[in-house]
Amino acid sequence: MTDHHIGLIVPSSNLTMETELPRMLRAREEAEPGDRFVFHSSRARMRQVTPEQLRAMNAQAERAARELADARPDVVATACLVAIMAQGPGYHCSAEDSIRDALRAEGSEAPVISSAGALLAGLGALKAGRVAIITPYMKPLTQKVVDYIEDAGVEIVDALSLEVADNLAVGRLDPQGLREHWRRLDLSRADALVLSACVQMPSLPVVQAVEDEAGLPVLTAATATTYRILSELGLATTVPQAGSLLGGTY
């Protein structure tokens, strides 16, 4: 049995990153014994999903990284997609670099993943040039996510904003609602569906069901982050019943 230590930088009000990622990797442990995944978190204050609080949370990332460095993780993931994308196109590269520098200064060689960068990587792996997305954000923040993804070369053919500003409320949304929400989107030109462009909005229980119903690949910020974690660890990107991206073929 090999232990893989995963460091997470999460918003203080996040409920979902520390549940969906462990659930996916626990399912992988059961399907493919031999690897065990251990999680270590550092929190950054954020309660309302507003531009001001997102900027303030980003400013805490280096402090959180230094704390995680003491645990000597094998990989570090920072887990608020909109906090990165709201800062403008390409910001995930700068954010990952600053976290990496903070880790290196404390003697940690862990690779760094952002959920924003992971979502783009997941879309690239699926060769999805046109996608539809669902977000829990207010419409102006959703537009920033749309602009960010389109700047990376992926066309957003449709987007749905659920308009929930309180981050705790986002984490308490019923994922079963997504089985109806996706039907409000025009998927006629889409190569893939981003069912939750937010690591706080729960979606894992319905990812496979929606993929089966929609007839095209379905991914989320959480499944994409898991994909990148497994890739950085040099492991097969396989998680049962979590959509095509984690089917082990990309």
Catalytic residue ranges: 80, 198
Read off the tokens for 154.
Answer: 């992926």
Collapse the DSSP code of 18 into the 3-class scheme (helix H, G, I; strand E, B; otherwise coil) and give the result: helix
Half-sphere exposure for 33 (CA within 13 Å, toward CB): 0
Long-range contacts of 152-155 (CB under 8 A, 24+ apart): 152/89, 152/120, 152/123, 153/129, 154/120, 154/123, 154/128, 154/129, 154/130, 155/129, 155/130, 155/131
Encoded amino acid at 73, one letter: P
Q: In angstroms, rounded to a whole number, what is the distance separating the alpha carbons of residues 200 and 47?
A: 12
